[in-house]
């Protein structure tokens, strides 16, 4: 590789993280091909929260300006009691552009995907669908991705951005996803179909013993997103059909009228088990590296899964650019990327698990949690600045 250009790059996985990485690298002059196993680029789920650590990067990529018209900029993040229907604490989001350099927003996942696809196409990224990678080989001088349909793609480096159940992660470890025993039902419906909703200016998480419900508007307030999560007793008993709609109704039966009635508009067609993996520091080996959920899948309690993948993308492009400009080997650029990102992402993974435990406590622990939250100064940012603020990251 000459010292004046980024390497040709294969990205396995065309989700939010993979497309963000493709765009970051392409905007630095690299040639990128994205291999998506589905027949089209699409996102599963509905709403997504994007904190300033992600929206700062999306602004630099020219994506923020595309999604703002269809996004919602909420007034506050609110934690509330799902049983007693009272507010416990909140965080004002209106000063985030001044405090953290970019807004906190919520939007439909497909709206972000569409914007990333458009910017990738404009930047010359090769977008390939129905490309299921069955084998990825580091030849020493490059990488080769073999697809199920016989196609082969070659590049100087390859990035595994293929999600929680990543095939490329097997290149690094034989670990398996960890099941938390919680299950989620989620979806968005037109706002005029919603009988009960929280304040439409806020993102509200209703917390209860072993459960929570998150509510917020989408698409400029035209849709309403809800996510209901609960600990499955059937899972703990080892039953095959755990987390079903009947168990959902049973889990939320003791909640407030608002929470119970909110579930009437929640689709129960699909459910998602809540999975993550143990933190892993080594994401780069030779000419292959991991990104996003393939590297650091996390539980959803910090709303940081996509945000951390977008941070990965920006740092990856930066370390590759630094390696190219100095003529250093590609493997060193990838190793620098992992060394920079892994400590922070692993902290987010661990904190997300801890935060989930805090959300779902019962008994005396719940009483103590509620007292601490009620006494909290709502202007206190000490628990979020590390997550949302700018960090000067450098390789060790």
pLDDT(214) > 80? yes
The DSSP H or E segment spanning 18 is: helix 16-27
Mean pLDDT for all residues in the chain:
95
Closest listed residue to residue 389, CA positions, set 102, 16, 20: 102
Average pLDDT over residues 347-352: 98
Q: What is the mean pLDDT of residues 272-301?
A: 97
Q: What angle do CA 50, 55, 59 make, to 5 degrees?
A: 150
Task: Kindly state the average pLDDT of the residues 320-334.
Answer: 94
CATH fold, domain 9-176+277-388, is FAD/NAD(P)-binding domain (3.50.50)
**Separation between Cα atoms, residue 212 and residue 228, nearest integer Å:** 6
**For the ranges 2-16, 45-59, 171-185, 298-312, which has the lowest average pLDDT?**
2-16
Q: 114-131 as b/e, with b when 16 or more CB fall inside 10 Å?
A: bbbbebbeebebbbbeeb
Active site residue 301: no
* pLDDT confidence bin for 396, thresholds 50/70/90: very low
Q: For the sheet containing 157-160, what is the strand order?
A: 126-128, 32-35, 9-12, 157-160, 288-290, 284-285
Q: Which of 10-14, 159-163, 219-223 has the lowest mean pLDDT?
A: 219-223
The whole-number pLDDT of residue 128 equals: 98
pLDDT band at 4 (very low <50, low <70, confident <90, very high): low
- Active-site residue, from 104, 185, 216, 301: 216
pLDDT digits (tens, 9 = 90+) for 161-208: 999 999 999 999 999 999 999 999 999 999 999 988 989 999 999 999
pLDDT in tens, 67-109: 999 999 999 999 999 999 999 999 999 999 999 999 999 999 9
In angstroms, the CA 69 to CA 219 distance is: 8
Res 299 pLDDT > 50:
yes
Share of the chain above pLDDT 90, in %: 94
Percent of the chain past pLDDT 70, that is, above it, reads 98
Burial call 338-351: b when 16+ CB within 10 Å, e when fewer: bbbbbebbbebbeb
Domain limits of the chain? 9-176+277-388
Q: Partners of 147 in the beta sheet?
A: 133
């Amino acid at each position: 590789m000459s010292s004046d250009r980024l390497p040709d790059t294969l990205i396995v996985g065309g989700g939010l993280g993979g497309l963000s990485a493709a765009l970051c690298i392409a905007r630095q002059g690299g040639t990128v091909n994205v291999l998506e196993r589905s027949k089209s680029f699409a996102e599963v789920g509905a709403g997504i929260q994007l904190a300033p650590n992600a929206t700062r990067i999306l602004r630099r990529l020219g994506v923020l300006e595309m999604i703002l018209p269809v996004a919602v900029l909420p007034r506050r993040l609110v934690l509330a009691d799902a049983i007693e229907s009272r507010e416990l604490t909140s965080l004002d989001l209106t000063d985030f552009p001044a405090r953290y350099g970019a807004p906190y927003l919520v939007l439909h996942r497909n709206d972000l995907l569409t914007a990333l696809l458009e910017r990738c196409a404009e930047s010359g990224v090769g977008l390939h669908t129905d490309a299921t990678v069955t084998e990825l080989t580091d030849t020493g001088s490059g990488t080769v991705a073999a697809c199920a349909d016989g196609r082969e793609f070659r590049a100087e480096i390859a990035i595994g951005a293929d999600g929680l159940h990543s095939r490329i992660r097997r290149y690094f470890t034989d670990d398996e996803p960890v099941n938390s025993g919680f299950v989620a039902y989620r979806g968005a419906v037109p706002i005029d179909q919603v009988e009960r909703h929280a304040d439409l200016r806020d993102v509200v998480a209703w917390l209860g013993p072993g459960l929570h419900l998150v509510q917020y508007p989408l698409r400029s307030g035209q849709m309403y997103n809800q996510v209901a999560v609960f600990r499955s007793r059937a899972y703990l008993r080892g039953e095959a059909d755990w987390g079903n709609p009947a168990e959902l109704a049973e889990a939320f039966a003791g909640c407030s009228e608002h929470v119970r009635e909110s579930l009437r508009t929640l689709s129960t067609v699909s459910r998602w088990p809540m999975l993550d993996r143990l933190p892993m520091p080594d994401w780069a080996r030779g000419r292959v590296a991991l990104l996003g959920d393939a590297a650091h899948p996390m539980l959803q309690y910090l709303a940081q899964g996509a945000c951390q993948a977008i941070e990965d993308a920006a740092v990856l492009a930066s370390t590759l650019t630094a390696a190219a400009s100095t003529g250093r080997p590609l493997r060193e650029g990838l190793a620098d990327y992992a060394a920079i990102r892994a400590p922070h992402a692993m902290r987010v993974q661990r904190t997300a698990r801890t935060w989930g435990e805090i959300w779902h406590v019962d008994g005396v622990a719940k009483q103590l949690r509620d007292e601490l939250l009620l006494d909290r100064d709502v202007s206190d940012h000490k628990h979020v600045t590390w997550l949302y603020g700018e960090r000067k990251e450098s390789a060790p």
